Structure 1
Amino acid sequence: MMNWLRTNKSFLMFLALFGIFRTAVADWNPIPSASMHPNLLEGDVVFVNRLAYNVKVPLTDIVISPTGEPQRGDIVTFSSPVNGMRLIKRVIALPGDRVEMHNEQLRINGQPAGYTALGHGTENIRGVGDLATVRVDEQLGDARHAVQFLPQLQARRDFGPIVVPPGQYMMLGDNRDNSEDSRYIGMVPRALLIGRAERVLASADITGNWMPRTERFGMSLYPRE
């Protein structure tokens, strides 16, 4: 065993350093579900900047020092406060914001979000089949992004008003009626934030023919920035 360790020490050191890099500096995150449609698709692999908000002790959620403030509209990866599962959602409300939703429409600090129709589509829901979707452009202050509604599904389309506690964030999926987000798991403490998703590194149609979607390679998640 000792001979094997000595022979492979360079490779083992590389693996250790690579692991530290992935858990402290930069990472990639496969998208396994439809909760961020239409902006992220199953089979996308996104680049995550782990230094966007915090420097952490590698392999832990212990924050050494904050590096930046999450902004409304950021797409972030984080550990679920319910079960620790890694999730990816969009920051909708910041600490101290007063948030409410009525019939899918958000209002933050008394200001209604703006909505502009983008069109219709279909989405296949396992066990249900193809359902019609409604896509709109949602504007929250300076942040704009597409969101999708599935009117035929049961979902939490109304809540609040509630005030986001200090040091916590409200996360919602862009696929509003098919996302397990802060409406179900609660607010997300800053210490559980992993990083800011920046762009799609690679993509393949894992729900269809598994062919690469080369048009998505390198795609920015913030095309309006």
Structure 2
Amino acid sequence: MRLDFATLLTALAALTGLIWLADAMFFAKRRAEIAAGAEVAEPVIVEYARSFFPVIFIVLLIRSFLFEPFRIPSSSMMPTLLIGDFIAVNKFSYGLKLPVLDYEFLDLGSPERGDVVVFRYPGYTCPEQKERSGSPCGHAWRPVPAQDYIKRIVGLPGDSIAYRGKRIFVNGKPVQVAEQGRYVGVGSGRGSTGHEIYSEQLDATEHLLLVDPLRFDSRGENEWVVPEGHYFVMGDNRDNSEDSRFWGFVPDRNLVGKASLIWMNLDLDEMRMDFTRVGTVIH
């Protein structure tokens, strides 16, 4: 169970609904009998519960089963997603889950290679992850319970994933890339100006990625085999992303949904809005 906004919404919906129901079943009729035709004021708590319950319940349904808002807090998915992008996360792409409990009651499909997904950080401990993927312990190992991350799926269950020379190899074959020039950053992303832009083809999904030609890949040559029920994810800003290369695989149960649309851009650090990004479909 996660103590987050979904938990709060569920608790408020349950509380206001129960107050409204209890009043309707046990107290409203009694007040009418006591009043004997005279107008009697409804208790304030009941009035608030009756007013807020439908709104809270509708928001809970939309957020749990249709779309959930998410703000991009870092540069790890540039140039696809910028700091300050507000996106809609499709909650029914892979299946419907009960809010808070995260129990899937309807399977609607599985993620595909190239999907941009929001997920709960796995929070592996160092010894556990070292045993599973051969990743070394280091400063990146820190549990972050109930925190949502966003990355792109590179490896599916059963895949062999390698990262060598800043290129991805899937089951021994290099992923096709093509150089697109140099990146010019704006707002909080200005620090990435000068990085190389590449287009990358992950199955049916073509997208852009950033590579810093001056940054040494401290991971060296590594290869991972993705376990069943797990996914290997990476950021599009390859040299500025902590992802499966560092902390391992994402379990299927941790998936929140598929990133689908940018509905607003507000760079809080720069206090600027970019209206040209509104309505951009995420690939």
Calculate the TM-score normalised by the size of structure 2: 0.71
Please list, as runs of the form range in 1=range in 2, the aligned pairs for 1:1-225 lying within 5 A after superposition: 3-8=43-48, 9-82=50-123, 83=144, 84-121=146-183, 132-156=194-218, 158-208=220-270, 210-222=271-283
Structure-2 change in CA distance of 1:57 and 1:163 (3 Å)? same
Shift of 1:67: 0.9
Whichever structure has more helix as a proportion of its residues is 2
Structure-2 change in CA distance of 1:130 and 1:58 (3 Å)? closer
CA distance in 1: counterparts of 2:101 and 2:195, whole angstroms: 39
Shift of 1:24: 3.0
Whichever structure has more strand as a proportion of its residues is 1
Question: Which amino acid in the other structure matches residue 105 of structure 2?
Answer: I
Shift of 1:103: 1.3
Calculate the TM-score normalised by the size of structure 1: 0.88
1:24–1:51 Cα contact (<8 Å) kept: yes
Provide, for residues 78-103 of structure 1, a one-character-per-residue CA deviation record: whole Å limited to 9, x for no partner.
00001231001101110011110101
| Pair member with larger Rg | 2
Provide, for residues 161-205 of structure 1, a one-character-per-residue CA deviation record: whole Å limited to 9, x for no partner.
221000100110000111111112210011100000111011123
Shift of 1:155: 4.4
Shift of 1:130: 6.5
Aligned counterpart, 2:130: none
What is the RMSD of the two structures over their aligned residues, measured on CA atoms?
2.1
Shift of 1:61: 2.4
Provide, for residues 129-163 of structure 1, a one-character-per-residue CA deviation record: whole Å limited to 9, x for no partner.
66631110111233211010123345455443221
Structure 1: tracts of 5 or more residues without a match:
none
CA distance in 2: counterparts of 1:148 and 1:130, whole angstroms: 8
CA distance in 1: counterparts of 2:261 and 2:212, whole angstroms: 26
Counting aligned pairs with the same residue, the percent is 32
Aligned length: 217
Question: Which amino acid in the other structure matches residue 203 of structure 2?
Answer: G
2:113–2:153 Cα contact (<8 Å) kept: yes
CA distance in 1: counterparts of 2:251 and 2:154, whole angstroms: 14
Write out the 4+ residue segments of structure 1 that deviate beyond 6 Å after TM superposition. Answer: none
Structure 2: tracts of 5 or more residues without a match:
1-18, 20-42, 124-143
Instruction: Name which of structure 1's ranges 111-120 and 148-157 shifts more when overlaid on structure 2.
Output: 148-157
